[in-house]
Amino acid sequence: MMILSGGAPRGRILTAVLVTIVVLLALAPFLFPGSKPLNVAAKVCVYALLVASYDLLIGFTGIVSFAHTMFFGIGSYGVAIALYGMGAGWLAIFVGVLAALVVAAALALAIGLFSLRVQTIFFAMVTLAVASAFAVLASQLSWLTGGEDGRTFQIPAVLRPGYKLLEQPLFGVDVNGRILAYYLLFLTVVALFLVMLRIVQSPFGRVLQAIRENPFRAEALGFRIIGHRTLANVLAALFAALAGALNALWLRYAGPDTSLSFSIMLDILVMVVIGGMGTLYGAIVGAAVFVLAQNYLQTLMGVAFGALNAAGVPFIAGFFNPDRWLLWLGALFILSVYFFPAGIVGKLRAESQP
């Protein structure tokens, strides 16, 4: 990874954690057979890319934006509209992704040029207003986007569950189109993540970090602050749109709840904080921790609830009622911020230093 991107994780423990997560994701179809584990692994991949793209903006540039889900939704709807209108073909996917990238880049460029001259909090409010307007527009244009119901579409036959690559199971797992779709998603995310690592380790990335630390000094050194911030905004939007396209292809659906909901923006912020801002690797750790907790915390609490009830301690068991899993998820987030103020990656890096 260091050879390809120029950015090492820095720290043996952190390297081991990252390698473990990546290996588990790479072997997920064979280690954890079943539809739910595969969906969870795919969601971790998509959110790792999405959170990394936001970290490129907030962690490395110091820009707080609430329009990131808008670009995520543009990627989702671009693929969905193309496949819905042109049919299930690779050309439709190419056209949809290309159109989404053009729209995302144009909007990000416009937002950057007209809004990044104001202070940080005002820029955040501008992006929130633009994202809200876009969500309303998407729900109103039912002839194009499907409105509140969204768009369901077909994908190429080779990516469908009915397609079989091998006649015989491999390690007890049928290698069908769903497995191929997962590996297409996984390998694309890995490639795009390496590209982002290369960007933040480049001279351009160093300038972004200088602007984040002291914009006045960076401007005094001759760097064009608005130009660099606008380019960072465009790059983050492009990666977010690609994450949205991958998400739509996996779900075979694009709608307001899965693409444009403000709750997705809140989840991104939580994952960035948990993993560690300004690290990029924190996106992998934060996405893995959050998505796993989101999908399995309620199940684990149900097991604990049943065991404590059987042990005759109903009072303590009440704290582990599965219906209260969101409360525990919030508590875990608060504890992670308290004990890991620089995120999990930041904490592991600090402990690895002599």
If we measure between CA atoms, which residue out of 45, 39, 52, 5 comes closest to residue 21? Answer: 45
Mean pLDDT by 10 residues, the chain (354 residues): 56 87 93 90 96 92 89 95 91 95 94 72 84 90 88 91 80 85 95 92 88 82 84 94 95 91 90 89 92 87 80 75 80 80 81 62
In terms of Cβ atoms closer than 10 Å to its own Cβ (0-12, 13-18, 19+), residue 350 is exposed
In angstroms, how far is CA 292 from the centroid of its own chain? 14
3-class secondary structure per residue, the chain: CHHHHCCCCCCHHHHHHHHHHHHHHHCHHHHCCCHHHHHHHHHHHHHHHHHHHHHHHHCCCCCCCCCHHHHHHHHHHHHHHHHHHHCCCHHHHHHHHHHHHHHHHHHHHHHHHHHCCCCHHHHHHHHHHHHHHHHHHHHHCHHHHCHHHCEECCCCHHHCCCCECCCCCECCECCEHHHHHHHHHHHHHHHHHHHHHHHHHCHHHHHHHHHHHCHHHHHHCCCCHHHHHHHHHHHHHHHHHHHHHHHHHHHCEECHHHHCCHHHHHHHHHHHHHHCCCCCHHHHHHHHHHHHHHHHHHHHHHHHHHHHHHCCCHHHHHHCCHHHHHHHHHHHHHHHHHHCCCHHHHHHHHHHCC
Contact 198, 60 (CB under 8 A): no
Distance CA 160, CA 183 (A): 13
CATH code for the structural domain at 2-25+36-352: 1.10.3470
The region that residue 195 occupies, defined by phi over 0 for left and psi between -120 and 50 for alpha, beta otherwise, is alpha
If we measure between CA atoms, which residue out of 21, 62, 75, 37 comes closest to residue 286? Answer: 21
Contact 187, 22 (CB under 8 A): no
Phi, psi of 206 (to 5 degrees): -65, -40
What tokens does 315 get? 């009072």
Write down the pLDDT at residue 119.
61
Write down the pLDDT at residue 116.
66
Distance CA 2, CA 350 (A): 20
Nearest-5° Cα angle at 7, 63 to 286: 55
Distance CA 145, CA 303 (A): 41
Write down the pLDDT at residue 1.
45
Write down the pLDDT at residue 318.
76
What tokens does 128 get? 């929130």
Write down the pLDDT at residue 3.
44
Q: Supply the angle between the helices 225-251 and 68-86 in degrees, to the nearest 10.
A: 50
Write down the pLDDT at residue 2.
46
Distance CA 46, CA 69 (A): 13
Residue holding tokens 């049928």? 174
